[in-house]
A and B are shown apart, each in its own frame.
Chain A
Amino acid sequence: GDSVTQMEGPVTLSEEAFLTINCTYTATGYPSLFWYVQYPGEGLQLLLKATKADDKGSNKGFEATYRKETTSFHLEKGSVQVSDSAVYFCALSSGYALNFGKGTSLLVTP
């Protein structure tokens, strides 16, 4: 079935460092791809999405490009802040379900 694989965490970075969280997917069709973020004690929030190949989703300085040739949707940010500390989930849509990766915990230190 459709699935998502993302890099294991935790990831620890210093403030203003560059962030990459890798995500690859397996799907039979052409799913939409998402990144969600979960702050401590909260539910998940949509961070960005892309609906077709070569689309770039962006929000709050984060970006990800839907790469069909490499079946990837890597999350990047040029300069992270302490407030970006959270768990990040890559996900793909599959009909009436959203299938999530296992999540990557990010800790940004001052």
Chain B
Amino acid sequence: DTAVSQTPKYLVTQMGNDKSIKCEQNLGHDTMYWYKQDSKKFLKIMFSYNNKELIINETVPNRFSPKSPDKAHLNLHINSLELGDSAVYFCASSRDRAESPLHFGNGTRLTVT
């Protein structure tokens, strides 16, 4: 069973569109994250949630809105997509704070044309 699964794996869309990426973890973890990896492989945290509560929102444009319906799910909705949003987005989870190891999904490659 996949521990952290995110869909879709690939997402190609045009500028101005709205899209969502879904993430689910079956590890029983309390904390979930969204990271953005750019073309140079740099990973930057976007959001972290603990028990459905937003803990970290790292200077991400308001066009990005995470939603956590329960602690096993953390979805990412993006409005009015821009070229600069093209990246690989990773969902992750951990048992509690980031001292406990993060488990990553396989990523969603978003391409905005």
Determine the residue in chain A with the shortest Cβ distance to B109.
Answer: A41
> Does B63 count as interface, using CB distance less than 8 angstroms?
no
Alpha-carbon distance between A98 and B44 when the two chains are bound, in angstroms: 9
> Does B87 count as interface, using CB distance less than 8 angstroms?
no
Cross-chain contact of A99 among B45, B97, B99 (Cβ < 8 A): B45
Chain A residues 61 to 110 lying within 8 A of chain B, measured CB to CB, are: 87, 89, 93-100, 102-103, 105
Q: Are B102 and A98 in contact (CB under 8 A)?
A: yes
Q: Are B106 and A97 in contact (CB under 8 A)?
A: no
User: For the side of the interface on A, what is the size category?
Assistant: 20 to 34
Q: Which of B41, B48, B92, B106 has the most CB of A within 10 A?
A: B41
Alpha-carbon distance between A87 and B40 when the two chains are bound, in angstroms: 11
In the assembled complex, which residues on chain A have CB atoms less than 8 Å from the CB atom of B58? 97
Q: Are A96 and B101 in contact (CB under 8 A)?
A: no
User: For the side of the interface on B, what is the size category?
Assistant: 20 to 34
Question: A96-B56, A96-B97 known; A44 and B41 CB under 8 Å?
Answer: no
In the assembled complex, which residues on chain B have CB atoms less than 8 Å from the CB atom of A41? 106
Q: Are B90 and A43 in contact (CB under 8 A)?
A: yes
B-contact 0/1 string along A15-53, CB 8 Å cutoff: 000000000000000011010101001111110010100
Determine the residue in chain A with the shortest Cβ distance to B54.
Answer: A96
Q: Are B48 and A97 in contact (CB under 8 A)?
A: yes
Q: Are A45 and B104 in contact (CB under 8 A)?
A: yes
Question: A43-B90, A43-B105 known; A93 and B99 CB under 8 Å?
Answer: yes
Chain A contact residues, CB within 8 Å of chain B: 31-32, 34, 36, 38, 41-46, 49, 51, 87, 89, 93-100, 102-103, 105
Shortest 4 CB-CB distances between A and B: which pairs? Answer: A43-B104, A93-B98, A96-B55, A103-B41
Provide 13 A-B residue pairs closer than 8 Å at the C-beta atoms, listed in order of the A residue: A43-B107, A45-B104, A49-B101, A89-B43, A93-B97, A93-B98, A94-B98, A95-B98, A97-B33, A97-B45, A97-B48, A102-B42, A103-B42
